[in-house]
Amino acid sequence: MSNASLYELTIAEASEMIRDQRLSPVELAQAYLDRIQSLNDNLSAYITVMSGAALAQARSAEAEIASGGYRGPLHGIPVAVKDIISTKSVLTSGGSKVLADNVPDHDSTVIERLNGAGASLLGKLNLSEFAIGGTIDHPYGTPRNPWNTGHSAGGSSSGSGVATSAGLAAGTLGSDTGGSVRGPSSFCGIVGLRPTYGRVTRHGVVPMCWQMDTIGPMTRTVKDCALMLQAIAGGDERDPSSSDEPVPDYALELEQSIGGLRVGLPREMFDFADLDNEVKTAVETAVTVLGELGVASDEMTLPTSAQSGAVFVSIADVDCASFHSEWLATRPEDYDWSTRTRLESATLTPATMYIRAQRARELIRRELLDALDRYDAIILPSSPTVSPLIAQATGSPGGYYQGRLDLGRRRYQSPAALAGLPAISVPCGFSSTGLPIGMQIIGRPFAESTLFRIAHAYEQATDWHTRRPAV
């Protein structure tokens, strides 16, 4: 295999070759760095490229493996992380001018765990400002969808979606508060997991909403997603919200049969007027494929969850505004005006509305958990639309993003977030214009293995994951 095509290897494929010393970690890291050099100016996936550090880690991995010290599937694998994840001595900007000079003196726990797994860190990835989403002016450039660079990569983990899809990293980490892993994954044609709240530590991560923030892997295949989650999952005494729930061997459980599983299809999520017909058809076809693999499906209803968008915003924006209160007061001009407007508006939210939203959140959580007592998983679209044009997504207040995309997508992405449940987006087709479509699978608390099993079985029965953008 030529150096120029090494980026096409999955993590699972590359790790096997590295383990057997048929592939040099240094050669692999250099192949990705060359591709970043060639494409990032156009795609704006990276804010900071850590070439020297990545190659040093690759050289260390190569020497260690040669001496018999192979650590596991991420050893020598080039990865990248969203730029809200703190990295020692490297800019952590949050995608904002507010943190343009922020160079932490410590690593976040997930970086420590990636380092412990022997991964090579290629750099820090672009995002919507402070992971809030809806950024109009990206100070580090607007990430562009590699399937069509005139189209949005989504938010807020846009750089992570672009880098994974375009082969600028073998795998990436994003964050998902209300859909920020699942949305870009759907738009960019990759696999993205929002883990159960507490499954992955947030220590050293710039918060958006402490009650709902999660860190999740974004990869080209389900197996790669499982391998990355394995490396970062588990409790952390430095994060009181993290869970000590045992972490299973996700890759080992991946091949277990899905025959006999039951999934629920929320009627509301397939009947909304703003659901594109091509998206609806693709997800319904995917459910048919799962049926052929032995998964039973039933139509069901989630009436409260279907109205979750306003509930999410009422909670998340208020919490976020609280974190930003000092900077909003002292440095308002350093925020993108759309971010500042959203946060300042949240400061005017009455306490009674916030309390009502929390009560509604509990109703949504109970509704979903009751449904998951009857079903092994719930399936719905990852997003009601394919990726919009960048000009429509970010061009003006009250435009596409603030209107249909924002409120529409929240119906689909907020339920799992409000309930703290795991959810995975997996490619399930393309629109007539060649843009990816994603299927979302929501599971029980800490049942990531079940989501991986369903998504992997579907992936192996189709070829969507083998397609690559022509960049």
Which residues are annotated as catalytic?
A: 82, 156, 180
Q: What six digits make up the tokens of 257?
A: 């049969």
Question: 51 burial class (0-12, 13-18, 19+ CB within 10 angstroms)?
Answer: middle
Taking the C-alpha atoms of residue 225 and residue 465, their distance in angstroms, rounded to an integer, is 13
Burial-class residue 145 by CB neighbours within 10 Å (0-12, 13-18, 19+). Answer: buried
Closest CA to 128 of 160, 104, 150: 160
Q: Taking the CB of residue 275, how many other CB atoms lie within 10 A of it?
A: 20
Taking the CB of residue 290, how many other CB atoms lie within 10 A of it?
24
Q: How far is CA 6 from the centre of its chain?
A: 23
The Cα 32–Cα 54 span in angstroms is: 10
For helices 448-461 and 222-232, angle between their N-to-C axes, nearest 10 degrees: 160
Residue whose pair of structure tokens reads 């969850």 in the numeric block: 305
Residues 6+ away with beta carbon under 8 Å from 217: 171, 172, 173, 174, 192, 193, 224, 225, 228, 229, 232
Instruction: List residues bridging with 448 in a β-sheet.
Output: none
